Amino acid sequence: MELSEQEIVRRQSLQTMRDMGIDPYPAAEYEVTGYSTDIKAHFVDNDANGANDANGERIWHTGDPVRIAGRLMSKRIMGKASFIEIQDSKGRIQVYVSRDDIQAPVPEEPTANSQELTADQQMYNVVFKKLLDIGDFIGIEGFVFRTQMGEISVHAKKLTVLAKSLRPLPIVKYKDGVAYDGFNDPEQRYRQRYVDLVVNEGVKDTFLKRATILRTMRQVFDEAGYTEVETPILQQIAGGASARPFITHHNSLDVDMYLRIATELYLKRLIVGGFEGVYEIGRNFRNEGMDRSHNPEFTCMELYVQYKDYNWMMTFTEQLLERIAIAVNGTTKVQIGDHEVDFKAPYRRLPILDAIKEKTGLDLASMSEDEIRVEAKKLGVEDTEHMGKGKLIDEIFGETCEGTFIQPTFITDYPVEMSPLTKMHRSKPGLTERFELMVNGKELANAYSELNDPIDQYNRFVEQMKLADKGDDEAMVIDHDFMRALEYGMPPTSGIGIGIDRLAILMTGQPTIQEVLLFPTMRPE
């Protein structure tokens, strides 16, 4: 491996530290007693020590002892003083190191007796002899104070090297809110997320918000009394959705298996088994395209609750998303590109055929499959010959309507051909009790009054197999064990799936799915 000049210099500094008796990768615990943002947010200019504010947060004062640790992000050596900036897990803080704090003389170069130097002498060598580099992890023990320029800082009394960085970080400089010399190339950022998180402001905050989304979602479900469960990722049948699966091989059983495309059919088995409500937040895998809103592996939440229907689920979903928005952003309103999206309940409810008629003028309810196919071709839908009526309607909706719904909107009452796992509508023949939630022009959630008639379910699976015979590679196959479970009896149930990645895009105002995945799928380097 050919090293750059900076990498060679860093390795030389590493060896110099070792020659001085300094372990650049110590194993001992380093106890941290304060964090950058907490110190700066809760500092007051008086002499009372150790007090807490009304919320239990520690109040910091001049002279309070502290131990902090983090990456060295900048340094300025000016004669007898050095100012460095430390980035810990919460933010950044300035550290002041004074030569006057180090009284003992220090040799110009390491010698045979370098290991006999005091800790203070070693700190002098490390800081003032420029052995520290941007990106190194260090620990600082000292006290809190405010500089003459008014900046809350830490006055260092001791320094500990915690980990030497052998690769130089890109240095991003900010002026008037503008980043210069930035680490901006998307492919580099996604491949080297560890660098992206260190040097680019706001990236870590996106993933902290994503964690808040998941935490709040679990709180809502747990408060309702529903149980979080785990179901198989390796499955013998790729069921529960219309999608192309990833295929793998189980050597011991000598059978092909699939990475799951949905958790639905296993969660419904648990409703059959007597759970009131179950949910799972986990990875699904679909062997399909990658773009700004799709990744082959993605996180989905599915929830199933007995004795409920899709009307109840719409209301529950409104309440869930409103609470998540407030937890993440402190308001129900989120700025997403040019649009302000408001997650405050209630949301509009619009049947899919009415939505198509509203946007195109086409009354598909009165048309045959062949007539719909003709209209689909006029609208630019390609490769329609293998599509059934439901698939044609779905493609027309996607082509003409989906992108127009910016504010949260429930699109309801899908044709039966589009919804093989959904209960027939109680008052509208040929339609089902299903909704999809559209936000900012994309589907966020899909929900049903779940089909629990085993005979009807079997016939729906048979119709799906006919679509597969016509060339639809996303059609469902029959899951005979799931059919057996239904025959034991499943109570009336409502279920929903919410794409966590898309929800994170919306709640954080990010433009692409790659911005909310820590490690999105990439082509090989």
- Nearest 5 degrees, angle CA 42-CA 43-CA 48? 110
Does residue 397 lie in a domain region?
A: no
What pLDDT does residue 477 have?
80
Do 443 and 506 form a contact (C-beta atoms < 8 A)?
no
Say if residue 214 is in the same domain as residue 68: no
Say if residue 341 is in the same domain as residue 290: yes
Task: For strands 297-306 and 493-499, give the pairing.
Answer: antiparallel
Which amino acid, residue 430?
Answer: G
Of all residues in the chain, the percent with pLDDT exceeding 70 is 91
Say if residue 120 is in the same domain as residue 218: no
C-alpha span between 205 and 508 (Å, rounded): 9
The CATH number for 22's domain is 2.40.50.140
Q: How many CB atoms lie within 10 A of CB 16?
A: 18
How much is the average pLDDT of 60-84?
91
Residue 64 in this model has a pLDDT that exceeds 60: yes
Total number of domains constituting the chain? 2
What pLDDT does residue 282 have?
96
Does residue 16 lie in a domain region?
A: yes
Q: Domain boundary at 116, 148, 169, which?
A: 169
Say if residue 123 is in the same domain as residue 232: no
What pLDDT does residue 7 have?
96
For residue 301, list its beta bridge partners.
281, 498
Does residue 488 lie in a domain region?
A: yes
Say if residue 158 is in the same domain as residue 221: no
Helix extents (H) in 129-272: 186-191, 193-199, 203-223, 264-272
Do 442 and 402 form a contact (C-beta atoms < 8 A)?
yes
Does residue 523 lie in a domain region?
A: no
C-alpha span between 166 and 10 (Å, rounded): 6
Does residue 380 lie in a domain region?
A: no
Provide the pLDDT confidence category of residue 103 given band limits of 50, 70 and 90.
Answer: very low
Say if residue 155 is in the same domain as residue 218: no
Q: Which of 482, 511, 517 is nearest to 499 (CA)?
A: 517
What pLDDT does residue 118 have?
60
How much is the average pLDDT of 96-106?
64
φ/ψ region of 176 (left if φ > 0, alpha if ψ in -120 to 50, else beta) reads: left
Say if residue 244 is in the same domain as residue 322: yes
Mean pLDDT of the chain: 90
Residue 120 in this model has a pLDDT that exceeds 80: no
Q: Domain boundary at 169, 191, 225, which?
A: 169
Say if residue 50 is in the same domain as residue 116: yes
End-to-end alpha-carbon separation of the chain, Å?
Answer: 17
Does residue 525 lie in a domain region?
A: no
Give the residue, 9 or 82, on which the prediction is more confident.
Answer: 9
Whole-number Cα distances in Å, 109 to 16, 79, 122, 165:
9, 18, 12, 22
In Å, the largest CA–CA distance within the chain is: 94
Residue 167 in this model has a pLDDT that exceeds 70: yes
Does residue 484 lie in a domain region?
A: yes
C-alpha span between 32 and 43 (Å, rounded): 18
Residue 102 in this model has a pLDDT that exceeds 60: no
Which amino acid, residue 170?
Answer: P
Which amino acid, residue 461?
Answer: F
Q: How many CB atoms lie within 10 A of CB 68?
A: 23
Q: Residue 26 gets which letter from DSSP?
A: -
Q: Domain boundary at 113, 148, 169, which?
A: 169
Q: Which range is least confidently modeled, 77-86, 192-201, 370-379, 451-460? A: 77-86
The CATH number for 306's domain is 3.30.930.10
Beta strands in 199-330 (DSSP E): 227-228, 234-235, 247-250, 255-259, 277-285, 297-306
Say if residue 213 is in the same domain as residue 141: no
Provide the pLDDT confidence category of residue 105 given band limits of 50, 70 and 90.
Answer: very low
Q: Is the pTM of this model over 0.75?
A: yes
Say if residue 262 is in the same domain as residue 329: yes
- Domain region containing 493: 203-347+407-516
pLDDT (tens digit per residue) in 29-62: 999 999 999 999 999 987 555 566 657 789 999 9
Do 445 and 408 form a contact (C-beta atoms < 8 A)?
no
C-alpha span between 138 and 135 (Å, rounded): 9
Handedness of CA 66, 70, 72, 74 (dihedral sign): negative
Say if residue 153 is in the same domain as residue 97: yes
Do 375 and 364 form a contact (C-beta atoms < 8 A)?
yes
C-alpha span between 251 and 168 (Å, rounded): 44
C-alpha span between 498 and 516 (Å, rounded): 15
pLDDT (tens digit per residue) in 195-251: 999 999 999 999 999 999 999 999 999 999 999 999 999 999 988 888 899 999 999
Does residue 377 lie in a domain region?
A: no
Say if residue 22 is in the same domain as residue 162: yes
Phi, then psi, of 159 in degrees rounded to 5 = -130, 135
Q: Which of 408, 471, 417, 477 is nearest to 444 (CA)?
A: 408
Phi, then psi, of 152 in degrees rounded to 5 = -70, 125
How much is the average pLDDT of 434-445?
97
What pLDDT does residue 427 have?
95
Residue 425 in this model has a pLDDT that exceeds 70: yes
Pull the structure tokens for residue 193. 């997320």
Residue 411 in this model has a pLDDT that exceeds 90: yes
What pLDDT does residue 386 have?
77
